[in-house]
Amino acid sequence: MPRPTQATIDFSALAHNLAVVRQYAPRSRIMAVIKADAYGHGLLHAANALKTVDGFALLELDAAICLRDAGYRQPILLLEGFFSTQELGLLEQYQLSTVIHHSEQVAMLLESKQRVDLFLKINTGMNRLGLAPEQFHKVMSMFKGNRCANTITLMTHFACADDPSEKESVIQQLQYFEMATQGYNYPRSLANSAAIIRYPETHADWVRPGIMLYGISPFPDQTASDLNLRPVMTLSSRIIAIQNLKCGDKVGYHGLFQADRAMRIGIVACGYADGYPRHAPTNTPVLVNNQHTRLLGRVSMDMLAVDLTDIENAELNSPVILWGKEITVDEIAHRAGTIGYELLCAVAPRVEKVCF
């Protein structure tokens, strides 16, 4: 038997979540965001479950080429664009769409004379990527009279669409975008998951859902099930050792957990090198044999310890669920001081991904 640590990907949940996106944004085309190995779910597993979608967005060129090679014909957008002139040849060859967020990229493109589908990204206040409005006008004029821009789509990205107290900021970015792009009649793309759900006025021609496809709520004040989203990934493993502790015995690195009575503990084949967060503290919930129990002590690189004292039927090889439908990745993330996005993306390549 191989090491029992697996990420199980629920194919039908992904398809269901895509249908939920369609309900929220019925008039927009959907560009499924599958960057970072589909948020840790496995690029080709996710693409297969989402194969009816209108387009894909990611930022790894090799993954984009892999999708084309696998036969996907819809637009594939590179969210950070290209990084060198050499890559531009591949963009044309594989018909990949690219974000243009910087005038350096425009210069490279004009010089290469390649013909590419462009998403011109405008910085409307997030101050991460994007052209300032005056740069944008200049770039638009630079594409006149040459064949480099096969198609043009205008895009921006919201900084605070997931924050219920920052409604103003979304409205401001939206107004800024409308002002900057006034008079240009091109398709538009603005909304991530949070904006798709909370700000229908941002839907425009293309929406770009990421996290909601994977069944995670983008909001702190609404759960996935409130939004009719189904968690897609279950991270599971098994008990690979059992220890009986006396009162006073310590567990794991630095003896961080100390038994205050006789206890039975299980060692689970999953650690931070698999993507389980090292900062998850004692008492973080875990399921063993489908019963709720808790993490004990420090998570190590390849293993963690759980309390089996009250789970009498737990034994060697008992199944363990670290997160999934019953214990959400967001709950674990919250305990570890981070967000579900980070945990999903951190699931390591050595964790086998199984689709059902």
Ligand X SMILES: *Cc1c(COP(=O)(O)O)cnc(C)c1O
Residue 231 is a binding residue for ligand X (CB under 6 A): no
Residue 101 is a binding residue for ligand X (CB under 6 A): no
Residue nearest ligand X by beta-carbon distance:
210
DSSP 8-state class, residue 176: H
Residue 210 is a binding residue for ligand X (CB under 6 A): yes
- How, if at all, do strands 291-296 and 352-355 pair? unpaired
Whether 121 sits among the annotated catalytic residues: the reply is no
Is the Cα torsion angle 24, 28, 29, 31 positive or negative in sign? negative
Helices 85-94, 61-69: axis angle to 10 degrees equals: 20
Determine which one of 35, 214, 272, 353 is catalytic: 35
Helices 85-94, 103-112: axis angle to 10 degrees equals: 70
- How, if at all, do strands 250-251 and 188-189 pair? unpaired
Residue 208 is a binding residue for ligand X (CB under 6 A): yes
Could you tell me how many residues of this chain bind ligand X (CB under 6 A)?
12
Residue 275 is a binding residue for ligand X (CB under 6 A): no
Phi-psi label, residue 252: left if phi above 0, alpha if psi -120 to 50, beta otherwise: left
Residue 20 is a binding residue for ligand X (CB under 6 A): no
Per CB under 6 A, the segment of 101-109, 170-178, 208-216, 241-249 that binds ligand X is 208-216
Smallest gap from residue 262 Cβ to ligand X (A): 46
Smallest gap from residue 30 Cβ to ligand X (A): 11
Both tokens of 334, joined, read: 């919250």
Residue 203 is a binding residue for ligand X (CB under 6 A): no
Applying the rule CB under 6 A, the residues between 64 and 93 that interact with ligand X are 79
> Which x/- pattern over 131-170 shows residues binding ligand X (rule: CB under 6 A)?
--------------------------x-------------
Smallest gap from residue 284 Cβ to ligand X (A): 24
Are the CB atoms for 203 and 15 separated by under 8 Å? Answer: no
Are the CB atoms for 14 and 49 separated by under 8 Å? Answer: yes
Among 14, 33, 78, 88, binds ligand X (CB under 6 A): 33
